[in-house]
Amino acid sequence: MKKVRVASVQFNHAPGDKQFNLSRIQHFCEIAAGEDVKLISFPEMCITGYWHVRKLSRSQIHELAENVEDGSSIFVLKGLSKELGMVIGAGLIEISNDRKLFNTYIVVMPDGRIVSHRKLHCFISKHMDSGDRYTVFETLLGFKVGILICWDNNLIENVRITALKGADILLAPHQTGGCKSRSPYAMGPIDPELWKRRREEPTRIEAEFRGPKGREWLLRWLPARAHDNGLFIIFSNGVGIDDDEVRTGNAMIIDCYGRIQNETWKAEDAIVIADIDLSLLEMCTGRRWIRGRRPELYKTLVEKMGNELDPRTARFSKQPTV
């Protein structure tokens, strides 16, 4: 298959309300099916809710979590995938067989297969663990898909390894934009009142979504991940109020040259669709550069520098650590 129609969705999830969130997923899957979409991506932890989880106890998180093999949400996703003939990806909280908790992204396929990726750099709760493996898998559509969740994408090594493992398309589910940041020129909070008044004054919040707290921040690095690694990126994100922050949406599909194929900056639940041309991959700049790698020079990349931090400390520490 040279061309495939894909979709990215942004929606404002309800914290802890899996039934509501799954109904939104179903809604957008049905829209996508009507447009002959073959692969659709929803945001990080959109089934369980995201930012409120940092305030929950271990037992409360356990109540939200599901096993990826037989969870009720997975059952719903599998049914949708089979009925609509579509590959569907969405995020939730996983509870493993040994009772560990993970920020996990599930992809279900029409043939019944399930693939899961555990976030490599999980910081949302001290009760949740980080994953320890990369995820790249074959589809029946003739291409390979990789998964990296939110902050996983910010570390360039993760995207490069995913590319080296053969990913043609990278699913990049997020809950980002409008974040409180210790870095003075990275994102920043958005007044929740702008979201509440989005229908009366859409231009004000759209300006925030398109500015340095949303789209401008993404464009500093996200297209480069696609270009430098020779893969397509489907960026899906939450939008609207997420506990005490405002997510900026900016659902986006990027080709292997870093060119935006479709996007939105609307302050609402939305889907963006694009036909991506996989024939571009073989001779795109990133793949040609990768073929010129000199791995013997890169040993420093796997040596500890002595200033490494665990994800939660790196995300939440108030002072630089040297």
Domains of the chain: residue spans and CATH: 3-295 (3.60.110.10)
What pLDDT shows up at residue 1?
60
What pLDDT shows up at residue 180?
87
pLDDT under 50 in the chain at which residues?
Answer: 322
What pLDDT shows up at residue 317?
75
For residue 86, give the DSSP letter: -
What pLDDT shows up at residue 319?
59
What pLDDT shows up at residue 182?
82
Name the percent of the chain in helix, strand, coil, to the closest 5. Answer: 35, 25, 45
What pLDDT shows up at residue 315?
87
255 sits in the region (left: phi over 0; alpha: psi -120 to 50; else beta) called beta
Cα–Cα separations (whole angstroms), residue 262 to 51, 107, 253, 275, 299? 27, 22, 5, 9, 38
The span from the CA of 172 to the CA of 223, in Å, is 12
For residue 293, give the DSSP letter: -
Q: What is the pTM of this model?
A: 0.96
What pLDDT shows up at residue 159?
98
Question: Going by C-beta distance under 8 Å and a sequence separation of 6 or more, which residues neighbour residue 180?
Answer: 188, 189, 245
The span from the CA of 192 to the CA of 216, in Å, is 20
Q: If you search the block for the tokens 């692969």, which residue do you land on?
A: 39
* C-alpha distance across the termini of the chain, in Å: 49
Cα–Cα separations (whole angstroms), residue 242 to 10, 12, 50, 166, 213? 13, 8, 7, 34, 15
With contact defined as beta carbons under 8 Å apart, do 140 and 124 qualify? Answer: no
